[in-house]
Structure 1
Amino acid sequence: MIDFRYNYPILRSQHQLLMQALSELEQDESYMKMAVPGGHPEDKKVAADWLSKPGFPIAADAVVIGCGGHHALSMIILATELSGGKVLVDPVTYNGFIGLSSMFNITLIPCPVDEDGLRPDVIAMLCKAENIKAVYLMPTIHNPLCYIMPLQRRQEVVEVARQFDLLLIDDDAYGFLDSGALPSFAHLAPERGFYIYSFSKILAPGIKTSYIVTPEKWKSQTENAAWMTSSGSVTLYNRLVSNWVKQGIVEKVIEEKRQAAAEKQRLAANVLKKYKYLTQVSSYHFWIPLPQSANARQFGERLSEKGVDVVTSAAYNVTGDTSYNGIRVALGNVPDEKVLTEGLMIIEESLAGLF
């Protein structure tokens, strides 16, 4: 089976990097002890420096360290007491957040999007009609729609959030692939913006470290949520990541992954040149819109029968609106170019029966 479902790219060189890093790790008894709530100060300082942008500094005290992206989302939901409330999302959004919302009894309110992302005017309209507590966003290389929200649109979203006192949850799973990444919602609205920066895709899914930039109002609750859900983060992983950040290794891996993703995108563009799809030049996934008349779930099943696994809009679609029919094709788990081409050709041939 050719796996276009999951998106955890690992470079061949990373295995040796891990072995080398473990052998060079300084001795520290803290690796075996209970973690410091929120993370050790030295690791939080590295995180803050890494996440700061010109004109948008991040204080080390604003960072809480978690155990990956899903853990970070769970921490934020618990800390802000979103359970039982309403959260505004894209009409097709990350299926992991859909699953967590179901577990926490959160009602998702879909908001229409355009090529720049969520529409601020509709956010305002929905907030007048519904008691919405927060907005969940993936503004840089959205999953699955791939859009990048421009700075002006981000600022407009912040204005609406301040008007209606909304929390902003910025999940930056794929932003590392955009070399011109814009300020996050934690940069633009630090009093209400949470920012999640997980290393699961940047480095590897086995590296369970995430940085959560947290508004001052919610800092103690977020640290408590980290403690109650996992007794804190994993100091060994955090120190490995800190060392790699300081040594420039994370930056190097990111650049190599951008180049690898761009090469995969060029290959996909050649195979799928007859069809329109949504992507970015260095994204590890793309979104193929399907006709409203198509049954996306059945199309995915037919692809599986041919040896290709994708994720269909059935997993991402909040209300089942057929105007958002589509499939996400993830390229990160297929390192072999020949296999990648074979899988894309199966998709290309299968699309012919829909258009």
Structure 2
Amino acid sequence: MELAQAGADSDDALHWIGRLDPAAGPRYLQIVAQLERAVTSGLLRPGDRLPPQRRLAEHLAVDLTTVTRAFGEARERGLIDAVTGRGSFISARQEQEGPPLDLSMTIPPAPKGLRLGELMQRGIAEILARSDADQLMNYHGGAGSLAERAAGAAWLAPLMGTIPPQRIAVVSGAQTGLNALLSLLAKPGETILMEPLAYPGLIGAARQRGLTMAPVASDAAGPLPDALDEATDRHGARLFALTPTLQNPTCITVPERRRRDLAAVARRRNLILIEDDPYSPLAGDAPAPLAALAPERTWHVATLSKVLTPGLRTAFVVMPEGADSAAFLTALRATALMPAPLMTALAAHWIRIGAAKDLLDGVRREAAERQALAKELLPETMRGHPHALHVWQPLPAHWARGGLIKRARVAGLGVMAAEAFSTDGRAPDAIRIALGAIPERARLAAALGLLAELIRDDAEAGR
């Protein structure tokens, strides 16, 4: 990656860090949280070189001791390594080994009774039997073939009804689609409205684009319509991005009445909506998406990676009615020329023959079993959903922020702190626990049981 090769004084080495908020708690922890978000979202990768501490302190207008303390905390969390005479680098240890029991990565668990390898072998053989391999593996520009876009329309039909394939673009994963949308819809320096806690990949994309993130106040049912109205007026914003179903990290699903009220505010304020919707197919009980309630102003992003298997790297972007598709495709090409043709062909084939639905049903069944384990083993303050891939766990008052993360790492557990999801530097004392990365339920149960013991540990341990 170019960042690792850049000189220590290059601004490229600072692109991952945004402004610090004096009201958002200790500044050294804000630096650590931004560093953790950048690693989680892929903005920083193992081996990337960080700027010298003095350079970072000058950039953030803080004391050198603040940055030194932040780097020390980051080393304790296993985020960075220091090399004498060369500087600090993003640690490769987590990529090479990972936590022995990974509760940090939200991926769909392998469903019981379905052999993914056999599905792939059979599907690829069927594709090659009716396709020209040379043509299949050639460059493919545009929004995807008509067959792939029609498959996307079929996949989304249970949620959104009939969608013309011409409104759909096939992209190489949701992150690619979100990056292209921010490039198209917002200029550097503009404000994007977001949920107070949001997907780290979206946060990283907004920061890389040079956007200012402003949170819209929310309650247990999601963003508040009056708060959206007020934030739009206060910031002069034109763009609001949200995940209304099984929100990452809180597991909140915005009810239909609230969605209609948010759509009404967006119409009155002429807001453009980005609906990041990876989990609706899993939920099974999700209300109509915003793209169905406000189709004239909503860009809907639906990935297969979060509900079927990550390696498909296929997502569908539903463009608003009357949107300039050429402008979006130009932004998309600048982000990624095309998705991997074999994977998109396989995804479309699975959708056509019903294998994608079978795989989805299997993931939902497995997710339900894992949610049942979480409900049984974790403290009752845990928030989940019968088919979600993660849960949200508030922490007891005696746990100091970051304390549980350190203890969990020592115990061999990887979890995500609330700071990684914060759009304004403020975060509750809570963690997100992912349920899909550990293959065996028995090992997952052991991990959840150990984590529950840590959470319930006495006040002395939390300091």
**Structure-2-length-normalised TM-score:** 0.73
Is contact 2:213–2:424 with CA below 8 Å preserved after alignment? no
**1:354, distance to aligned residue in structure 2 (A):** 6.2
Cα pair distance change 1:126/1:55, threshold 3 Å = closer
Determine the structure 1 residue equivalent to 2:437.
333
Matched, 1:249 2:348: no
Determine the structure 1 residue equivalent to 2:300.
195
Alpha-carbon displacement from aligned partner over 1:232-280 (angstroms, at most 9, x marks no partner)? 23332222111100111111111111110110111111112x4311110
1:222 to 306, 317, 328: 328
Alpha-carbon displacement from aligned partner over 1:146-180 (angstroms, at most 9, x marks no partner)? 01111111111111111111111111122221112
Matched, 1:3 2:89: no
- Alpha-carbon RMSD: 1.8
Structure 1, 23-32 or 279-288: larger mean CA deviation: 23-32
d(CA) in 1 for partners of 2:397, 2:240: 27
Structure 1, 77-86 or 49-58: larger mean CA deviation: 49-58
d(CA) in 2 for partners of 1:30, 1:133: 41
Cα pair distance change 1:54/1:75, threshold 3 Å = closer
Cα pair distance change 1:54/1:304, threshold 3 Å = closer
Determine the structure 2 residue equivalent to 1:84.
189
Q: Secondary structure at the match of 1:268?
A: helix
Cα pair distance change 1:214/1:82, threshold 3 Å = farther
Determine the structure 1 residue equivalent to 2:448.
344
d(CA) in 2 for partners of 1:213, 1:354: 49
Residue identity in the other structure for 2:154:
D
**1:186, distance to aligned residue in structure 2 (A):** 1.6
How does 1:6-85 map onto structure 2 within 5 Å? 6-11=105-110, 13-25=115-127, 26-28=130-132, 29-53=134-158, 56-85=161-190
Determine the structure 1 residue equivalent to 2:94.
none
How does 1:82-161 map onto structure 2 within 5 Å? 82-161=187-266
How does 1:266-285 map onto structure 2 within 5 Å? 266-272=372-378, 274-285=379-390
d(CA) in 2 for partners of 1:55, 1:313: 32
**1:71, distance to aligned residue in structure 2 (A):** 0.3
d(CA) in 2 for partners of 1:132, 1:292: 36
Cα pair distance change 1:32/1:111, threshold 3 Å = same
Cα pair distance change 1:191/1:83, threshold 3 Å = farther
Max Rg structure = 2
Identity of matched residues, %: 26
Alpha-carbon displacement from aligned partner over 1:37-96 (angstroms, at most 9, x marks no partner)? 011112112212321248742111110111001001011111223433111111111111
Is contact 1:67–1:210 with CA below 8 Å preserved after alignment? yes
Determine the structure 1 residue equivalent to 2:426.
321
Residue identity in the other structure for 1:226:
L
Residue identity in the other structure for 1:253:
L
d(CA) in 2 for partners of 1:278, 1:214: 32
Is contact 2:303–2:314 with CA below 8 Å preserved after alignment? yes
**1:112, distance to aligned residue in structure 2 (A):** 1.6
Q: Secondary structure at the match of 2:431?
A: strand
d(CA) in 1 for partners of 2:292, 2:122: 35
Is contact 2:197–2:422 with CA below 8 Å preserved after alignment? yes
Alpha-carbon displacement from aligned partner over 1:163-215 (angstroms, at most 9, x marks no partner)? 11111111112222111232222211111101111111222221121100012
Cα pair distance change 1:291/1:267, threshold 3 Å = closer
How does 1:284-299 map onto structure 2 within 5 Å? 284-291=389-396, 294-299=399-404
**1:291, distance to aligned residue in structure 2 (A):** 4.5
**1:10, distance to aligned residue in structure 2 (A):** 4.3
Is contact 1:92–1:318 with CA below 8 Å preserved after alignment? yes
Is contact 2:159–2:288 with CA below 8 Å preserved after alignment? no
Alpha-carbon displacement from aligned partner over 1:105-127 (angstroms, at most 9, x marks no partner)? 11111112112100001110111
Relative contact order, higher structure (CA 8 A, sep 6+): 1
Is contact 1:296–1:327 with CA below 8 Å preserved after alignment? no
Cα pair distance change 1:96/1:55, threshold 3 Å = closer
**1:217, distance to aligned residue in structure 2 (A):** 2.3
Is contact 1:35–1:234 with CA below 8 Å preserved after alignment? no
**Structure-1-length-normalised TM-score:** 0.94
For structure 2, the 5+ residue unaligned runs are 1-99
Cα pair distance change 1:141/1:121, threshold 3 Å = same
**1:294, distance to aligned residue in structure 2 (A):** 3.6
Residue identity in the other structure for 1:6:
M
d(CA) in 2 for partners of 1:15, 1:109: 44
d(CA) in 2 for partners of 1:27, 1:347: 50
1:233 to 339, 358, 377: 339
Residue identity in the other structure for 1:8:
I
Is contact 2:394–2:431 with CA below 8 Å preserved after alignment? yes
Residue identity in the other structure for 1:255:
D
Q: Secondary structure at the match of 2:323?
A: helix
Q: Secondary structure at the match of 1:288?
A: strand
Is contact 1:111–1:122 with CA below 8 Å preserved after alignment? yes
Residue identity in the other structure for 1:87:
I
Is contact 1:146–1:287 with CA below 8 Å preserved after alignment? yes
Cα pair distance change 1:193/1:245, threshold 3 Å = same
